[in-house]
Amino acid sequence: MSVVILGIESSCDDTSAAVIRDGNLLSNQISNQDVHRLYGGVVPELASRAHQANIIPVVDSALKLANINKNEVNAVAFTRGPGLLGSLLVGSSFAKGFALAQNIPLLGINHLQGHILAHFVKDKGIDRHPSFPFLCLLVSGGHTQLVVVRNYLDMEIIGQTIDDAAGEAFDKCAKVMGLPYPGGPVIDKLAKIGNPQAFQFAKPLQKGLDFSFSGLKTSFLYFLRDRLNENPNFIEQNKEDLCASLQFTIISILLEKVEKAAKKTNITEIAIAGGVSANSGLRGAITQLGEKRGWNVYIPEFRFTTDNAAMIAIAGYYKYLNGDFTGHEVIPLARFPL
Q: Which one of residues 184, 290, 316, 332 is an interface residue with ligand KG4 (CB under 6 A)?
A: 184
Select from 154-162, 237-245, 302-310, 327-335 the region that touches Zn ion (CB under 5 A): 302-310
Residue placing its CB nearer to ligand KG4 in the complex, 72 or 240: 240
Contacts for 109 with CB less than 8 Å, ≥ 6 apart: 7, 77, 78, 79, 80, 312, 315, 316, 319
Residue 307 in the binding site for Zn ion (CB under 5 A): yes
Contacts with ligand KG4: how many residues (CB under 6 A)?
Answer: 19
Residue 33 in the binding site for ligand KG4 (CB under 6 A): no
Nearest Cα neighbor of 209 from 253, 167, 248, 168 is 253
114 binds, among ligand KG4, Zn ion, none (CB under 5 to 8 A by kind): none
CA distance 36 to 20: 30
Minimum distance between the CB of residue 181 and ligand KG4, rounded to whole angstroms?
8
Nearest Cα neighbor of 245 from 287, 295, 208, 194 is 194
Residue 269 in the binding site for ligand KG4 (CB under 6 A): no
CA angle 219, 112, 148 (to 5 degrees): 90
Contacts for 191 with CB less than 8 Å, ≥ 6 apart: 240, 243, 244, 246, 247, 248, 281
Select from 63-71, 146-154, 184-192, 234-242 the region that touches ligand KG4 (CB under 6 A): 184-192
Residue 275 in the binding site for ligand KG4 (CB under 6 A): yes
Instruction: List phi, psi (to 5°) of 59.
Output: -65, -45
Q: Which one of residues 182, 194, 300, 316 is an interface residue with ligand KG4 (CB under 6 A)?
A: 182
Residue 276 in the binding site for ligand KG4 (CB under 6 A): yes
Contact string (CB under 6 A) for ligand KG4, positions 134-173, x = contact: ------xxx------------------------x--xx--
170 binds, among Zn ion, ligand KG4, none (CB under 5 to 8 A by kind): ligand KG4
Residue 279 in the binding site for ligand KG4 (CB under 6 A): yes
* Region label for 83, one of left (φ > 0), alpha (ψ between -120 and 50) or beta (otherwise): left
188 binds, among ligand KG4, Zn ion, none (CB under 5 to 8 A by kind): ligand KG4
Q: What is the CA radius of gyration of the chain?
A: 20
Strands of the chain, DSSP E: 4-9, 14-21, 24-32, 75-81, 106-110, 134-139, 144-151, 154-160, 269-273, 296-298
* Cα→Cα distances 249→36, 170, 337, Å: 27, 11, 27
* Region label for 266, one of left (φ > 0), alpha (ψ between -120 and 50) or beta (otherwise): left
Residue 86 in the binding site for ligand KG4 (CB under 6 A): no
Minimum distance between the CB of residue 112 and ligand KG4, rounded to whole angstroms?
8
Residue 188 in the binding site for Zn ion (CB under 5 A): no
Contacts with Zn ion: how many residues (CB under 5 A)?
Answer: 2
Which residue of the chain is nearest ligand KG4 when measured via CB?
275
Sign of the alpha-carbon torsion through 255, 318, 120, 30: negative
CA distance 275 to 114: 12
Residue 185 in the binding site for ligand KG4 (CB under 6 A): yes
Select from 179-187, 203-211, 219-227, 329-337 the region that touches ligand KG4 (CB under 6 A): 179-187
Q: Which one of residues 9, 145, 307, 326 is an interface residue with ligand KG4 (CB under 6 A)?
A: 307
Q: Point out which residues bind ligand KG4 (CB under 6 A).
A: 12, 140-142, 167, 170-171, 182-185, 188, 274-276, 278-279, 306-307
